[in-house]
Structure 1
Amino acid sequence: MVRDQPPFSPDELLKALYETLPDPVLIGDRNRTIVAANAAAVTAFGYSEDVLLGMNAEQIYASPETLRDVGDAFYPLDAGAMRLHRQVDFRRRDGSVFPAKLTLNRIFGSDGKPVGVVALIRDLTDIMAAQVEQQQAEKTLKLALAAISEGFVIFDAEDRLFLCNDAYRDMYKLSAPVLQIGRSFESIVRYGLERGQYPDAGETLEEQEAWLNARLEKCRKPSGPIVQRVSGDRWIQIDEQVTPENFRVGLRTDISAVSRIKSEAERLGLILESVAQEVYVVSIENGHFISCNKSARENLQYSNEEMRGLTPADVNADLSEDQFAERVAPLVSGACKLLFFDSEHRRKDGSTYACRMRLERLDDVPEPVIMAFAEDISERLEFERVLERKQHEFETLVRNLPDFITRSKPDTTLTYVNENYARFIGMSAQELVGQQFLRFPPMEIRSSIRAHLQALSPEQPIRTMEQLMISHTGERRWYLWSNLMIFKGGVPEELVSVGRDVTESRMAREQIAAQSRELAMRNDALEQFGGIVAHDLKAPLRHIRVFADMIAEDVNAGRTDDLANFSGHISDRAEALERMITSLFTYSQLAYQSIKPVNFILSKAIAEAWENLGVDVIEAGGRLTFSGDAEVCADPDLLTQLFQNLFANSLKYTDRATRPEVQVGVAVADADVMVTVEDNGIGIAAAHADNIFGVFQRLHRDESQYPGAGIGLALCRSIAESHRGTIVLDHSCHTGARFIIRLPVG
């Protein structure tokens, strides 16, 4: 049999498939240049056919890493893989990226050698989106099953476990090890039966086997809810249904509470009978008492039968019958469910007692009733009156105390302040409540207050600290605060603070401390004076005595040629001695005088010190630059003298060919103000950093080149220390001298 030739050639068939294929097809040469593309490729990548042809494949890959991975696996064509299947990301003309399944095949020429590659690209965007949607649906189902409190289970047509939630596993804890997908219902129940999962299944093997067969039959042919006891006093209601696909869907509801209602209801009567509160049940229909407990009968002195013939208005002593009816009308009409009020009950003997009432309307009973609870509050009212009186006495005491008293939350939000504290802040007590007290102390000490409060612990709940406070009028006062943190279960709950004004005692302490420091400094000065007299002052005196002796010898010998020279030496040494004595006098006057601190801007003292050296500045051609500023509490005259001495040294100790440049910088920290004074002079070696601050300590003995007595820096240190500050030489400076002065903020 000879078949008819098809009306088309294989090449025509291949071309038709190439053009109509819905997936993009690209053909590239050995250099990975695209030489052909079908219509689907043009649409997928967004390029026109003219642009797409001639592009290099690297332009359509989403990342260089993907291009490299594909190239390493498939190229060169002579040595790479014959075929490649891989999921990669491609990039369209508009920059968007899409995932795709890439299939690469070699194209062979007539000589059997590879000449190019054909790429089939399948866009996976919709497929992956569907997978994500399916995963999200599965996740939602699992979350939904986990959220419901009922046990949920599905067994397939072969009675194998298909699905169950955590609540189901919790109900059957003894069977949990075999609650695995694929296990048969019978094997799961038998496993639990052998381990005591079902207390009502019987004791003997025959009883348990009969129970198992009955349970399997009910599972196969569910006809209604089943109540089952599992693990002691836990009861479960089982509802099962068979789906059209013969799947068994089961719902397990824990009805343990319901099963206990009956016994609890029986116990409730005994409980209500024995409670200390009075308990009444009143009919809404006729307004009479239905029943009351023992406490109510004993307090009112009526029997149960007598109570049934009374209404609540009969035992109420402070309201008329109409007034009482008006009071309980919202409850009787159903406008409200609960009612609270204080009342007064009248006993059978006519005596009365105060009580607090709680009335509740109950509608979920055969006949709507009102259940009333009454508590005798006679003793409580008396206690409250006593407490109110004590509270009034306490408030009176707190108002008249000169101390500050506050209560606050652990985050310093005020919940109570006394009038003295409010008056100092300049606000009313009501305005202060709800605000954080940390906003009122000066900014520079808030961090230390916060650290102090954070250090309070259950082991050390109370601490004291002195704190500077500024009133709304600007008055600065010191207070000693006692802070008590109240903890509950190890967690801070409330902060109680009491502040006492200690300004006068602090000033006295500071004055004593200042006097002690001044005395110590004067003692040091006396020791220095002793050393100076023993050494520095004796040196010129020795020279004077030597030259005087030499003059006496020459006079006695009749020699007069050297008398003028000797007398000149004596005169020079006398002048030197006079300068030293004058310097010591100046040092003793300035270094240890009592400081007179005031608040002023630091730049004022710096500018005045520079102006005082006006002649020296002009002669040396010096220049001062200044950055930063701060307000300090110090003696302006002494600080001016300190800066003047430093500036004088900067102008003096320079290379004569260099114009003196002095730079002053001011920076403010939490505890102090730092001032740096830096020059471009000859500098000071680190080895002399401490010696230079001594009296008459000169590094340059030639006074003709660098004149001076050697007390300038000693005076600077004394002034700094008299202000509880410091001055040091910065060792890290190698292009001149840099001094660092630190002064306290307050």
Structure 2
Amino acid sequence: MPFQQQHVVEALFTDFPSAVFFASPDKRIEAANPAALRMFGYALEDILRQPVRLLFSSDDEYRICLTKRQERAITDRSIDSLFRFQRRDGEIFQGEMRTTLIDANDGETRGFIGVITDVTAMRVLEERQLTAERFLNTALGVIDQGFAIFDKDERLVVFNAAYESLFGGVVLKAGMAAQEIMDLALKMGAFGSFETDADRRSWTDERLAVLRAIDTPHRILRYADGRLWRCEDRRLPDGSTVALRVDVTEVQQALTAVERREREYLTLLQNLPELVCRFSSDRTVLFANQGYAQFFGLQPNDLIGRDVLHHVPTEAHEPMIVALQAITPETPRSTRETVHHFADGSTCSIEWTLVGVFDHSVATEFVAVGRDVTEHKRRNEALSLFAATVAHDLKAPLRHVASFSEMMSEDLEAGRLDTLGFYAGNIRQSTERMQRLIQNLLEYAQIAHRITKTHCVDLSAVVRDAIALMETTVSETAARIEIGRLPHVSGDPELLKRLAQNLIANALKYHQPDREPVVRVYGANHPLYVSMIVEDEGIGIDPAQEARIFDLFHRLHRDESVYKGTGVGLAIAKRIVESHGGKIRLDPAYRDGARFIVTLPPEVAQVDPPAADPFDVGSCN
């Protein structure tokens, strides 16, 4: 060996980082480099000529090494194997040893070179890596979210069971292309059938687009079993993609249910008869239903985002500010009534309920709910008057019954029997009057609840039917009843018949004593309403009484021997007209008797074309 080459080999042997041993054919150590001495903890003089067995942890390990060397001596001059070695201090470690035969020029084996690398740390790292992989695979296997990583060529690197389940039975393997996975899922019918190839391609393209998209909003797609998954994909710097699929089926169902309830809630609010407005703590309107906006002559969009005081009358500003300041967590609700004045001069009473919404004792929102109580107040006042009137008018016959009963009792005790018939007659008259009062009261009270379904009613036929029911009275008074042209209306035929009957009966009752009654019934057309008119040539009504004649039990003539009645007829007539959305009034300009004008609004009336003569239809005598 040339001198220079010898020096190179010596330098390599001395400075080589791995342990190097030279062994003789009889398996004894002939040389060891410094790295070998450091690895095993021996001095050179302690190890030279020692058996190679000294380096191994046990006889079995050494025997395995010799066996492998013998088995592969013919085919491999160098072999690599892992063995367990033992240092001088007894510590056992794992090392990778490469043994190479040293042959002479004549082909005989001159010995062996053994290069040993301590792989203990490496094996620990590998074991830790395997442990980490096991933990990772276990974790991925138990989480509900689908997880996968695709490389830059869209080939599957790693995935969990949840991700595999998305494709309806397709068995995923590392290295599969994303396109391949989609095609297999479609082929297995995991996503149902498609009518055309274009539909199938569209389905595939949509899912591949999610995988290829960069920094796009999350999308929700339907996968196997019809479940919905939110796709959250992220592109990594090396071009690979992390695909995360989150099952949001129940969440989406809940959101859909919430949206449906919100729509139902909004529909309910929009159709409530109450006026509803929601506004923030700084009085900015957040919501107003249609009724609230229309009450102020606006549309909901005209109110949203504006100060609630913007549409409230100026005189109501200060009271409203005071009411808002009075709302606290201790008293989160207040109610007050206001009178609203309209441009046409009419008014209405609104009962406002103000409710505060608090977050940690701080008011964040307010809800104002208004209810029109005008009719309610009117009905309460009418009910109070009704109760007082009923109590007053029922007391009179009761007093008569009590008085005559007491006198009858006294005469019986005194043996005066000739007066009993007189007393009994008066008691009977009083009870009959009480029965009529009660019957009329029941009829009056029930009228408002009678109309359940309206019909197209011919008022001419209704009036003729009413007259037929009054045939006896008409004959007894020798009355002449003229019927003119009358409209068709939408209403309850029986109630309208009772209306005509009451008005005609009133005309027949209050006729001039010295002449036969004349009653005319006819209709008229007007731009905004139609009318039915009943007029007579009787004794007439003082116009000063116009405001009271429709009151319950009000009678202009107290003497029942001349004009019998209970004072309920005109009250019932008014109630029937109002139940049809109309009005009834006395015409104060008519001086030849009494004229009652019934008007019905256009939406509940259909009028026949006017006749040249309102009395060209005929008369009933």
TM range (shorter): 0.3 to 0.5
Higher relative contact order (CA 8 A, sep 6+): 2
Q: Which has the larger radius of gyration?
A: 2
**TM-score, structure 2 length as denominator?**
0.39
**TM-score, structure 1 length as denominator?**
0.33
